[in-house]
Structure 1
């Protein structure tokens, strides 16, 4: 077995004897990072002791530890530091750079998965027999073999709280308080950068940074100059006394980026031959760095996936009476919709979904279908596309935090009854009543979709299926507040110059990005 860990962007690897760590964790309310964390990990003398304790770690981390000739790999729920593993030169290689594998054979099945969902499924990459660690995964390896794959956390449950709405609200406030106190302890007095939209998730982070008396905070918003995000995000920052900057996504900022060596390195770093890289915030972070608006110790605070905790899936995807027998069909419909499949491909993907569900939780049919759906989504799309998007922070050398993915928050919201998640009822109530209104950052023009909006959107979706592709492609521009069109036009120009065929985007601009990225992975760009 060979262990080769070299990527030190943003977070550094710390190693001693049989232990390697990247990231940080809380254990028994004590914060561990760097050498302090290594010293803690070195105290574990048995596999059973380590397995028992690592389940209680709360943070962002990847750990490689060898005990009694057994090597264990552990990742937190965000899995922003994935590891690759597979046989190379007749021995098992564990590495954070897939390029370290000498033999790589392209996998057509994984390509279809990525075209369909923007990422490969399970532990697969775009190469046969080269695998990648998963969200919350704990791998046990012996003698160049994978002995066991298990998970440190599951969102699947069949135990929902019976608390009254009032008590649930108070417990939610307590959970937020504890999570943000841990955030505050982990960042101390460092400069903070907050991508602030008009939405609720980043606004709650801003509210807590104010409440916890963090003063060195830069809020930023990016995209079109006409974006609806600008007015409210600026008002939030000004009201709370934080600096705010708008970064307009113009041709001057974007033009010619595909020819940049730095950008090509970013694509390798962000895509990892397993996920479609997100380019959206790349230009904003680069701008902040070039303009010296942030320093090398700045920590980015991201609101990723907060709305999922509140029940955003129940707004768009999951019906209130969702049943287990509908799981595979619904997951296929909602998570593989970027590509038109043949019947053979459809059956293969549905088998993949079934196999993945069983791997995540062998007894998933005994759990609530709602929570199983969300667990699948967390370990797949949320981890591999959403949290993987944080690569634009670490690539440029910055640490990042995800306060909504604090383990205690995840545990709290997974046990919340469905009735409180419908239309994000309790989540939004807590945020508006207990944080936004007291701080004067609740606005009349805040957009909150309700059941009627959702019904209208469902009708629109049905109509879209009858509309020509070119018309649908043009309609994407209406909601393109971040000016992703400008970015994807550059990608399309490169594909056209090289006479590489591609499908016109009809559902999202990421349909262009994923096609461009797959050509990149095959060295055709």
Structure 2
């Protein structure tokens, strides 16, 4: 079969090819940074020694995508967060590989899958290896795809986030906190090695993740740091972030998200349609929450061109925050319901097709009975929502020409939390406890949004709704049984639009004649993404 490899997107990080090996991103291996030609050489050295790909990849820290073309097959490899998406198709006696699904669709005259359009509208992305285009597939997080010269496809995960009882760590909570802090420090040192003195720019929220990165950089003596926060001036996030930045003595920039920075006609602008195609790629809802904020920073040259953007993805997830949202699933059936309730939560007027339900069941049935049910929930979240929506939000930084890094997805940190017992993620939460006691306290940044909430509604949301066990059961019941016409206004009553997302959604609402609900923001963007397909 003819092989056509076209990697077209060189925003932020560039593709590099030599001797049939294509690489993008960076790797830290044995305390040395590898990129471009050096990364190709490292791979060749290991492969020539007969080291298996799976064993090589478990020693790589960083973010990367790799394609290896040999005489009789092609290997496509994604890092554990699918940081740089790759796609493939076998059609018309040709093997097509690209980072651009629009290119592949045109080559094969691909048709859209109606069932997967429904899934996209309900959760904001296409799960598993498929895309919205029949016959076009994506390389999943932590996956190796092998395509033989006759077009046969083999898929294998070299990493997942599931765990069995025997794998759980047996240490005390104090010992686990010490180990977590030790690994976190190593992850930050790897970030510093990669940054090599360049400006690190951190989108600073009111939560712990971005604050942990900023504080650990201060602790390690890295001073070339800029923090920025956006939203409404009186929001709890802004109040916390301002105080954190002040105490850390880092430069802090506040950008008010309002109509001054959001072009009311942006859906028709050429630059935005280019971004849409790049970030959407027939898999993911584009992430607009901070797009115009970052565009404002870029257009006004507020941050240096060689900066590295370092968001806080997704320490809270590793620490168990998503497990604490609902009652802990105790069986695969519980996990099935939990996945539906947590993730298929927008555009609920659209009914899920049996095909999507079948996909979830196939995922669950692919694991043995020894796999702890709650880890099936977390693994699905990591492979799908975290990779295809949260990490995919980094397309914004790349689009404007910036590199990025995600140190809280450091493989050593991920592997540690994979094995942390459930009780230390849901009851005595070692992630947040260790940060408060041993990182934030020393720098005077032990602050939380619940402590600075300036209305009773916000205090209820931050202090009570997220902490009391009874609300997990109430939420589970409500999400499962109440109609969306009731759930949407209830959610908006509890959660406030502190980032002023309405101003971002307004041009889309006008085009689609939809009513505004904060809880439907991502559903609104997802609907626009599909509605706009025929126009590109």
Normalised TM-score (structure 1): 0.92
- 2:156 maps to what in 1? 150
Is residue 2:335 matched to residue 1:323? Answer: no
Structure 1 distance, partners of 2:272, 2:499, is 19
Matched, 1:19 2:21: yes
Q: What's the counterpart of residue 133 of structure 1?
A: 139
Aligned 1:192-207 pairs, distance under 5 A: 192-207=200-215
- Distance verdict in 2 for CA 1:136–1:146, change over 3 Å: farther
Q: Matches of 1:507 and 1:450 in 2, distance apart?
A: 16
Pick one of 250, 265, 286 that aligns with 1:256: 265
In the TM superposition, residue 346 of structure 1 has moved relative to its aligned partner by: 5.2
Q: Residues 84 and 95 of structure 1 are in contact (CA less than 8 Å); yes or no, is this contact kept in structure 2?
A: yes
Query: Which sections of structure 1, spanning at least 5 residues, go unmatched?
Result: 497-501
Q: 1:18: how far off?
A: 1.2
Deviation track 1:59-113 (CA, whole Å, cap 9, x = no partner) reads 1000001234221011001212111111354301001111222212111011011
- 1:508–1:473 distance in 2 versus 1, CA, 3 Å: farther
Equivalent residue, structure 2, for 1:276: 285
Matched, 1:333 2:341: yes
Q: Residues 51, 415 of structure 1: CA spacing in aligned structure 2 closer, same or farther, 3 A cutoff?
A: closer
- Maintained 8 Å contact 2:324/2:426: yes
Q: Match for residue 85 of structure 1? A: 88
DSSP 3-state at the match of 1:141: strand
User: What are the equivalent positions in structure 2 for 1:84-123 lying under 5 Å apart?
Assistant: 84-101=87-104, 102=106, 103-123=109-129
Residue 305, structure 1, aligned to residue 309, structure 2: no
Q: Deviations over 1:162-221 (max 9, x none)?
A: 111111111111111111111111112001111001111111011011012121211000
Q: Deviations over 1:281-321 (max 9, x none)?
A: 111111111111112210001101210111102210242x6
In structure 1, how many angstroms separate the alpha carbons of the residues matched to 2:492 and 2:22? 49
Distance in 1 (alpha carbons) for counterparts of 2:502 and 2:347: 20
| 1:333–1:231 distance in 2 versus 1, CA, 3 Å | closer
Moved more, 34-43 or 105-114: 34-43
Q: Considering only aligned residues, what root-mean-square deviation do their CA atoms show, in Å? A: 2.4
2:252 aligns to what? 244
Contact 1:473 1:506 in 2 (8 A): no
**Which residue of structure 1 aligns with residue 447 of structure 2?**
443
Distance (Å, rounded) in 2 between the aligned partners of 1:172 and 1:192: 23
Counterpart of 1:228 in structure 2 is: 236
Instruction: State the alpha-carbon separation in 2 of the partners of residues 268 and 399 from structure 1.
Output: 19
Match of 1:352 among 338, 359, 366: 359
Of 290, 294, 297 in structure 1, the residue corresponding to residue 303 of structure 2 is: 294
1:499 maps to which residue? Answer: none
The offset of 1:48, in angstroms, is 5.5
SS in 2 for 1:253: coil
CA distance in 2, matches of 1:218, 1:516: 33
Q: 2:505 aligns with which of 477, 488, 491?
A: 488
Distance across 2 between alignment mates of 1:412 and 1:267: 36
SS of the aligned residue for 2:276 comes to: helix
**8 Å Cα contact 1:315-1:424 kept in structure 2:** no
Q: Secondary structure at the match of 1:378?
A: helix
Counterpart in the other structure of 1:520 = 532
- Count of residues in Structure 1 that have an aligned counterpart in Structure 2: 514
Tell me the CA shift for residue 125 of structure 1.
1.1
CA deviations 1:139-172 (Å, max 9, x no partner) are 1111152432111211101121111111111111
Q: Does 1:76 align with 2:92?
A: no
Pairing of 1:162-241 with structure 2 (within 5 A): 162-241=170-249
Aligned residue runs from structure 1 range 427-506, under 5 A: 427-443=431-447, 445=451, 447=462, 453=468, 455-456=470-471, 459=474, 465=482, 468=485, 472=489, 475=492, 479-496=496-513, 505=517
Tell whether 2:522 aligns with 1:510. yes
User: CA 1:245/1:87 → structure 2, altered by over 3 Å: closer, same or farther?
Assistant: same
Q: How much does 1:122 deviate? A: 0.7
Q: Given that residues 488 and 517 in structure 2 are in contact (C-alpha distance below 8 angstroms), is that contact kept between their aligned partners in structure 1?
A: no
- Cα distance in 2, alignment partners of residues 278 and 233 from structure 1: 22
For structure 2, the 5+ residue unaligned runs are: 453-461
Higher mean C-alpha displacement, 450-459 vs 475-484: 450-459
Residues 349 and 484, structure 2, Cα contact 8 Å, conserved in 1: no
Q: Deviation of residue 453 (structure 1)? A: 3.9
User: What is the TM-score when the length of structure 2 is the normalising length?
Assistant: 0.90
Q: CA offsets per residue over residues 463-494 of structure 1, 9 Å max, x none?
A: 68378459718936951111111111110112
Partner of 2:169: 161
Q: Does the aligned pair in 2 maintain the 1:225–1:248 contact within 8 Å? A: yes
